[in-house]
Chains A and B, each alone.
Chain A
Amino acid sequence: MEAKPANPKRRILLAKAAIWLIGLAPPVWLTTALFRRTLGINPVETIILVEGRWTLVFLLATLAVTPIRRLTGWNRIVQLRRLLGLFAFFHACVHFLSYVGIDHLFALSIIVEDVLERRYITAGFTALVLLVPLAVTSTKGWIRRLGKRWQRLHRLSYVAASLGVLHFYWKVKADTFWPLVAAVTLAGLFAVRLAYRRTPRGRFSGRTG
């Protein structure tokens, strides 16, 4: 950390620009590679896998904002949270639409059966559904309108992330390494939150999260 950032606003701006770049890169790269035929033998599978992984990365990044803020005291980092969360939702949508549209060609009967009967899809689909109200209420207007209730509502992001990790864990056939990495990360983030919850409030200025 610099001793005295010349302009703290600039740092947030740069971080936001980086999030936009990282957030848009996967679909841009996937589309380019798809047309250049470099996505491997089963591109649909690659697209779904890559987008699923980025959904989890952005979900965990969103949930990391508050713990990082608590641990470092960098309060302005909250300003990144909405963007991170919306990118998580964006990748979840691309992931889901790839499965529905290009994998199953909108064969609704198969998709409905999957959602109802296959527990890993039930978990993933529920996670996506939970993200919808969070994305909708992420605007300044909704934050103001909901007041205290907004925070309570947005705790659903932990439920969505847990279901997302479960979806990942149940999907793999034998190699549970990365699902477990995601689970441990999520548990760690949650633990930091709980630990700080017990300490006296009001230690930090700025908006609470």
Chain B
Amino acid sequence: MIIKVTKNSDIPSSEITSESVYINRRKFLGASAGIGAATFLGAGKAQAATQDDEPNTWEEITSYNNFYEFGTGKDDPSKYAPSRLVTDPWTVKVDGLCNNPADYHLEDFIKPSTIEDRTYRLRCVEAWSMVVPWRGFPLMDVINRADPTAAAKYVAFETLWDPVQMPERSWRPRIDWPYREGLRLDEARNPLSLLVTGLYGKDLPAQNGAPLRLAVPWKYGFKSIKSIVRITFTEDQPPTTWATQTPREYGFYSNVNPDVDHPRWSQKTEKRIDSSRLFGSRRIDTQFLNGYADEVAHLYEGMDLRKNF
């Protein structure tokens, strides 16, 4: 399928930065209705935030997680990660094809950047979704500082792997740890790509990938790698965990796309988690590129997204 390319709307940082209005959810909702596109939900400014895009609650976001290093149950990460994951001190290694490789203490890694609050949709490949008020800074900042060489085409990410902190629960899924993810360099440079350090204006909880994770809202959730310890610039497409584990089902790109089904289930609709409902969710239609087509569709111009799933 050749996707229709819409004009890339470059969004100045003043527009994507919203006030910290997260004192409580109700207040946030009231405020976000006013500032509209500032929360970065819609595809550009045309689409008003709808009822479908109310942020999920702290409780929902922090107790329903996929973080297989702490177990495959959705409640395993919140049960085990907070008491086991040591996030301080934390070192991030930046290496590979760049002019300024370095090992950073987390503090020094974050310090040069301006922290922003951004509310993004999160669409899991398992067909559930949430709306999450992240706090973080553009991945672009880190790329500019590292100064990749002309040969660099991709960015690879690695999650912490420590069998002491991630004990016996992690042998059962036979995954070749550490968890790895990657982006094409132009995807990584897109203003939407966010390195996340917080949630609802607070520090990021362990189960959500503390102290540093990625948020690439137009891709399925597993691309938004958690607890990052290494960022590497490469020439070749880096191996990524799920695409290596089950290549038939998970590709490198993993863009949210209602027209490309997962081999085992449909991706046309999704369950938006909503614990105010009796059954905890409501079915909504899945949007192409998770509703961020205006910002990122140009990255895939001329590509067959069925092949490059």
Contact = CB atoms under 8 A, between A and B. Distances in A.
Interface of A: 34-35, 37, 39-45, 102-105, 107, 110, 113-114, 117-121, 170-177
Contacts of A176: 174
B280 A174 contact: no
B275 A44 contact: no
Interface stretch (B15-23, B102-110, B262-270): B262-270
B268 A110 contact: yes
14 contacts: A41-B59, A41-B64, A41-B74, A41-B280, A42-B281, A45-B128, A104-B283, A107-B269, A110-B266, A117-B261, A118-B263, A173-B173, A174-B72, A175-B172
B141 interface: no
Interface residues of B, number: 31
Contacts of A40: 63-64, 74-75, 280
B286 to A, nearest CB: 12
Interface in B256-282: 261, 263-266, 268-269, 271, 273, 275, 278-281
A19 to B, nearest CB: 28
A101 B172 CA distance: 32
B245 A42 contact: no
B268 A41 contact: no
A35 to B, nearest CB: 8
Given A113-B266, A118-B263, A174 B173 contact: yes
Contacts, number: 72
Contacts of B68: 174-175
B22 to A, nearest CB: 19
B72 A41 contact: no
Contacts of A121: 264
B-side interface mostly: loop
Given A40-B64, A174-B245, A118 B265 contact: yes
A40 B174 CA distance: 26
A42 B173 contact: no
A42 B269 contact: no
A174 B175 contact: yes
A35 B246 CA distance: 38
A45 B64 CA distance: 11
B235 interface: no
Contacts of B74: 40-42, 45
